[in-house]
Amino acid sequence: MQEFHFQHNHLTAAEVNASKMHRLHHVKLFYPAICHITHGSKVIIQDERRLVATPDELIIIPANTPMEIINQPAQDVFHSDLLLLSPDLIAEFKTRYLQSWPRAKTDSLCAPLSEGLAFMWGNLLHAVRHNFSDELQKHQAFGLLLALLHDGVAGPLLIERNINLTEQVRHFIMLAPARAWTAHDVASRLALSVPTLRRRLREESQSFRQIVEEVRMAVALSQLQSTRLPIGEIAMQCGYLSSSRFTARFRQHYGCLPKTLR
């Protein structure tokens, strides 16, 4: 089977389009992200909190935060822009610009789109979409993060993250989600025995197979929402030879069929 490899940059842009409302369970982004809706609205349900985000706001999404999401079109159109920020970029921003890290504000993930935020967001999105140099993209990203910090809404992006074993395993799977990964493959890359790998993952309330499936589902969701690739091809890119099995796993994970996102 052909392996599909995905490149993960400091900044990755994606677009989400839909003509019908859809509801997704157990959505989790592995990198911190910023989202802006241009048409429609997005409902975010996290624990007991329910937020409704509109085009007047930026959505600040910390990494590894399980959410339920409802994308609601307006006049049959939903569109949002999403930017994923690498942990390395966030760490460099902290080192350069923060004398003392502010306490993270997690009471709301929605940041009012002030004039400064709108200006910096537009510049960064343009730089990423037009593939400006890494240094120019980073410069624009730091500008947006400074604007968020100035408005007091950068907290969710500045939450301290420990790079645990789960994240290290996830990194390998994300590079080639179609590959038939085994625990031995990853353990050898981490200079661990397979029993040690499994034991340490259990200590983090994870299993190897759980991580593989979680990554494949996240990649599939991104491909379904931001590309026009056939569902069968997306299934193959995510390691599923059977489209029916992929559909069943997707429905079990997110609570809807892949075709409902198109």
102: which DSSP letter?
P
- Tell me what pLDDT residue 113 has: 94
Predicted confidence (pLDDT) at residue 4 exceeds the cutoff of 60 = no
103: which DSSP letter?
P
Q: Are 59 and 16 in contact (CB under 8 A)?
A: no
- Tell me what pLDDT residue 1 has: 38
Domains of the chain: 11-158 (2.60.120.810), 165-261 (1.10.10.60)
Closest CA to 255 of 26, 8, 2, 20: 26
- Which token pair is 217? 């589902």
Query: What pTM value is reported for the model?
Result: 0.80
- The distance from CA 221 to its chain's CA centroid, rounded to whole angstroms, is 10
Higher pLDDT, 228 or 81: 81
Q: How far apart are CA 143 and CA 93, in angstroms?
A: 10
- Tell me what pLDDT residue 101 has: 54
Q: Are 158 and 198 in contact (CB under 8 A)?
A: no
- Tell me what pLDDT residue 171 has: 86
Among 100-114, 157-171, 201-215, which stretch is predicted with the lowest mean pLDDT?
Answer: 100-114
